[in-house]
Amino acid sequence: MSEHASTPTARPRHRATPLLAGAGALVLLLAAAPAAAGADLDTAPVVVDVMRVVDGRPQVTSTVVAGAGTAERLVARLDADPAVAAADVQTTYRLDAADPLLPRATHLDVVRAPQAWATTTGRGVVVAVVDSGVDATQPDLAGRVLPQADFARAGDSGPHGTWVATVLAGALGNGVGAAGVAPDVTVLPVRVCEVDVCASAPLAQGIVHAADAGASVVNLSLGGGAPNDVVRQAVAYALGKGAVVVAAAGNTGDRGNVVSYPASYPGVVSVSAGTDQAASPWAQHNEFVDLSAPGTGIVAGGPASARHVYSAVTGTSFSAPMVSAAAALARSVAPAAGPATVEQWLRSSARPVPSWPAGYGTGVLDVAGTVSAARAWAAGASVTARPDGTVAYARSGSTAVLRGAVLERYRAAGGPASSLGWPVTGEVPVAGGAFAAFEGGSVYWSPATGAQVVKGDVRARWASLGWERSWLGFPAGEEVAVRGGVVQRFTGGSVWWSPATGAQAVRGAVLDRYARSGAETGPLGFPTTSEAPLRGGAFSVFQGGSVYFSPATGARVVTGRIRDEWGRLGWETGRLGWPRTEEVPVRGGVRQDFTGGSVTYSFSTARTTVTYR
């Protein structure tokens, strides 16, 4: 298997314990009488209830009047009548069964979901469940499941996707099961898995479909230890379309605790498991995790193939949809917020738990806190086009003004709902150009390069070198996907990024030699360091070796056992000096010449011989 090959992505293993769904108690719920469809509210009949006390006993009568205005005036006159104890427009009631398993769904209280429902239950927001498929006949989901897109081969899908969907969007107060964290959102089911295996190609297709279908949130309760660039690009596409992407961190925290993908890709909200009592040791935990949510004994409803039985399920697969639901509720009150903004609300509102070990994120999901942050943001957000062609983006008491090429590039990216999010600064002039910073990156402009987006780890590396004042200069392009990572060109060099190496900058003769070797697809692979200056030259280290440069020798590749021997002898400051050739075949091995001698490697003995000049 090649270095960048990926194994099929598998859903985290889960545990499920069946629960009995006992009969619910009958309750009375207050509900206003709906107006008849198409009725004129000024003339439609309205019933007014009147209570009078006659001989010490209340007597109730009703009268019908034409129109709501007439009813209000009648109620006002009756209220002023000393003989009338009470008067009001008629109200209707309904019998409803309480959700029988709601008391078992303790995770709802842990994440403070009920406190958010007074503000929003997510009606109208579409959340994609990219999983094993969702049963649209599940009673807790019926009527809120869009037609399913299928990218996996036919076969039994298993219960996983339906479990995830009910944790996310199970109905509240329908007399069935428990409730989801966002009980009124619409579910877009995207089937990419075959029972327990989710291959990378269907997964990427499903993510792209969810983004194109307009999903506000994409839930990925699946993962694996091998990165896949096709999936990473699909995730980046969804983020660029404005979707919040949430993924489970995995369930092998006590069995290797490997970094899981797609949870660890840039921009993805990675979710581990824990409560305000303790983190879950079985859940994967690492520096990529953003926050955690309960993941043990979660009440979830099964598909028809499982007779719609409710089970107590365990895994970060069921922590992730709680966070997806919170993101959906936030989006319902602040639809213009971009993915980076929503991720910031989720992380900043999470409740820290001092007893947790490192790697579980900023704390326990707080749904009410996330919605509160979204409401505050929405209340202060506005976009105003000005007569001079500039646009003012106002939020939380501050205003950022954008213009020209920077404004046009921001608009082309999708504005505040894109992965760039809202402006953090207005346009700022710099020597040779201008820039504006956003929640999810920056847009830099110069006359020679135009306006280019810089974001993520590439932007961080550029910043560490000194932004446009550094030897990298202005961005001359935007991120381009390459096998295993991305590359972005600047006027003075390029920055390569991969999950294994991070972002590293290379320039000049070293960059030219790297490009001639095939860049990241050649034997050198990705750079593991940025170019470092040396007395008399420079060098960069790559996965497959190093490139050293001096004006006298040019840029030369040094690899393998010859590089090891040269390093042992002091690199370029040792007696051998700088490499002046690259490896050349000799009888029984290879030799590389240096300014002070040569190193020969024998295939038969696996030993090196040093000869000085």
| Preceding amide of 429 cis, omega within 30 | no
- Sequence-distant (≥ 6) Cβ neighbours of residue 334 within 8 angstroms: 341, 374, 375, 377, 378, 381
Q: Is 110 exposed, middle or buried (0-12, 13-18, 19+ CB in 10 A)?
A: buried
For residue 389, the number of C-alpha atoms closer than 13 Å in the C-beta half-sphere is 6
Token pair 């983004």 is found at 211
Q: Tell me whether residue 366 is one of the annotated catalytic residues.
A: no
- Sequence-distant (≥ 6) Cβ neighbours of residue 502 within 8 angstroms: 457, 461
The catalytic position among 4, 107, 160, 308 is 160
Q: How far apart are CA 10 and CA 490, in angstroms?
A: 38
**Distances 134 to 142, 156, 161, 164, 221 between C-alpha atoms, Å:** 11, 12, 5, 9, 13
Residue 197 CB neighbours (<10 A)? 15
In 3D, which of 388, 439, 443 has the Cα closest to residue 418? Answer: 439
Q: Tell me whether residue 317 is one of the annotated catalytic residues.
A: yes
Q: Tell me whether residue 79 is one of the annotated catalytic residues.
A: no
Read off the tokens for 401.
């003004």
Cβ proximity of 507 and 469 under 8 Å: no
DSSP letter for each residue of 146-172: PPPEE-S-SS---SHHHHHHHHHH--S
Cβ proximity of 384 and 205 under 8 Å: no
The dihedral region occupied by 214, where left means phi > 0, alpha psi between -120 and 50, and beta the remainder, is left
DSSP-derived 3-state class of residue 520: helix
DSSP 292: E
480-482 and 485-490 strand pairing: antiparallel
The catalytic position among 99, 131, 229, 290 is 131
Cβ proximity of 9 and 224 under 8 Å: yes
What's the CA dihedral at 233, 237, 240, 246 to 10 degrees?
A: -80
The catalytic position among 157, 317, 372, 546 is 317
The residues annotated with a catalytic role in the active site are 131, 160, 317
